[in-house]
Structures are given as structure tokens and as C-alpha cells.
Amino acid sequence: MSMRLLIVDDEPLARRLVREYLSSHDDIEIIGECNNGESAVDEIFKHEPDLILLDIHMPKLSGLEVLEATGRTAGVIFTTAYDQYALKAFDLHAVDYLLKPFSQARFDEAIARAKKQLDPDRLAMSALVKDNKVQSIVVRDRGQTHIIPVADIDYIEAEDDYIRICWQDKSVLKTQSLSALEAQLNSAEFIRIHRSYIAKLSAIKGLERISKDSQVIILHSGVKLPISRTGIERIKPLLS
């Protein structure tokens, strides 16, 4: 069974060299290349590669921020020109730390170490992306990159072709559907209360009746959100 690998580096020459080094590894499938950290996060969640060759200094998000955003704890080889991040890299359970420029022999050594860590049944996959659920959400807004820990989110609201992520009295828009994000969230922590709203269970204080036939969700922050009849059926057993 081949190992599925993602190359992440903002330098075209570096990506080309890695491809050249990988040409002698017939059991490795290159599933893609990324030239910045933001696209790397998207590709990691989309393809769940077995191994990532990850640069540290990149546009939009650094390699370390990519790990923070995806929650990966295994299957990463850092490839960088900077040695000061080595201790941090191994704290994050990196397979290896390749300091540029590195030789074919040094590269092969790192790949061999990665192959040793991946068993034939891919049992390590559960550690690569925790339960296949997102740990942080990355949003690029007006030239600023937000890395929002899922644990800090109170609720998400659909707005046309966007979603509004609300956390700690802050909010930001992201181009994504509510259903797509819902699939990435842990259903034990987040619940769809309305076709346009997802709320974090621990952020919910209770229900409030506003008329004979309608109720709203009250969050601990004081925010009130609409809830559908289906949402009420889903949430009542969880609030009792």
C-alpha cells in the first residue's frame, strides 16, 4: 500500500527538488502541492495525507500554524532553512526536521523513519486529524489571518454564501456553507438548531418561549438565537 504525501513549500525550486528525491520511492504517491499555509490546511482536511513535507516560513500561515489549525500530531516532516524551530517541531511530534539544503541520503533517512511509523492498516490516521474533526478554523479576512480554536466558538450563522463564526464577542465571515462546516464539527459538542444556525452545546444556557408556537435559544453570553421545531426536538434531551 502506497503512502500518500503532500508537499507544502512556498519555493518552487524546493518543491521540484523534493519531487526529484521522491522519484526513487515507488511506494509514495504525491497527492498534491501547496505554496502557502492556508491552502495546506484546506488540502490536509480534504485529502488527509499520510505524510506532509512541511516548510515553516510561508505566506499566510507558517508551518507551525498549519499544525495548530489542523490538530495534526503525527505524519509531518519539516523542511526548512531555519534551525531555531527544531525543538518546537519535535514537541509537536514531527517525524523529522530537514534543514535546507539537505541531501538525498538525509531525505531518504527521514522518509524511512516516516514509513516505520505508519503501519499497514493506517492505525495512525486517528492521530493525524483528530477524529477527522477540525480543531481550529482558519479564516483570511481583510489581510488578516484568524486561527479560531473550535473550543472558543459560541455559534455559527449562515449568511448567503458565507458563514459568520462567532466567538468571545468577536465574529468573522468565511466563504463556506454551514453544512460543510457542520460535517467537520464534533456532533457531541455542536448542534444544528436551525437551518441557518449551529450552536455549541456548552454555550447554551436554555430555551425561552417568545410566543405560543416559538422559542429561542439563550446563550450564556446573553445572545438569543432562533431555533426550529426540529432543533427543539434535538436539543431538549440534551438540556434536561
pLDDT digits (tens, 9 = 90+) for 161-216: 899 999 999 999 988 899 988 988 888 899 999 999 999 999 999 999 998 888 99
Span 204-232, mean pLDDT?
93
- pLDDT tens across 41-61, in order? 888 888 889 999 999 999 888
Q: Do residue 30 and residue 149 come from a single domain?
A: no
**Same-domain check for residues 49 and 108:** yes
Q: What is the pLDDT of residue 126?
A: 39
Secondary structure (3-state) at 45: helix
Shared-domain flag, residues 116 and 167: no
Is the same domain home to 144 and 226?
yes
Pairing of strands 136-141, 144-149: antiparallel
Q: Are residues 113 and 165 in the same domain?
A: no
- Assess whether 115 and 140 both reside in one domain: no
At 67, the pLDDT band (50, 70, 90 cuts) reads confident
Which of 83, 103, 131 corresponds to the end of one domain?
Answer: 131
- What is the reported pLDDT for 238? 84
CB atoms within 10 A of CB 16: 13
Residue type present at position 211: S
> Which of 89, 108, 131 finishes a domain?
131
Q: How far apart are CA 164 and CA 174, in angstroms?
A: 6
| 116 in the same domain as 12 | yes
Angle at CA 178, nearest 5°, toward 175 and 181? 85
Structural domain containing residue 150: 133-239
Does the CA dihedral 121-37-29-108 come out positive or negative? Answer: negative
**Is the bond leading into 149 cis (omega within 30 degrees of zero)?**
no
pLDDT at 128 over 50: no
Check pLDDT > 60 for residue 33.
yes
- Cβ distance 69 to 138 under 8 Å? yes
What's the CATH number where 12 sits?
Answer: 3.40.50.2300
Mean pLDDT over 106-121 rounds to 83
Q: What is the DSSP letter of 201?
A: G
Same domain, 65 and 93: yes
Q: Parallel, antiparallel, or unpaired: how do β-strands 204-209 and 197-200 relate?
A: unpaired
As for how many domains the chain has, the answer is 2
What pLDDT score was predicted for residue 132? Answer: 53
- Domain match, 120 and 8 both: yes
The full DSSP string for 147-167 is EEEGGGEEEEEEETTEEEEEE
Residues 211 and 138 grouped into a single domain: yes
Strand partners for 197: 157, 194
Same domain, 115 and 9: yes
Question: Could you say which of 131, 155, 189 is where a domain stops?
Answer: 131
Question: What is the overall mean pLDDT for the chain?
Answer: 87
Say if CB 61 and CB 36 are below 8 A apart: yes
The CATH number of residue 193's host domain is 2.40.50.1020
Residues 123 and 200 in one domain: no
pLDDT, tens only, 131-147: 556 778 878 777 677 88
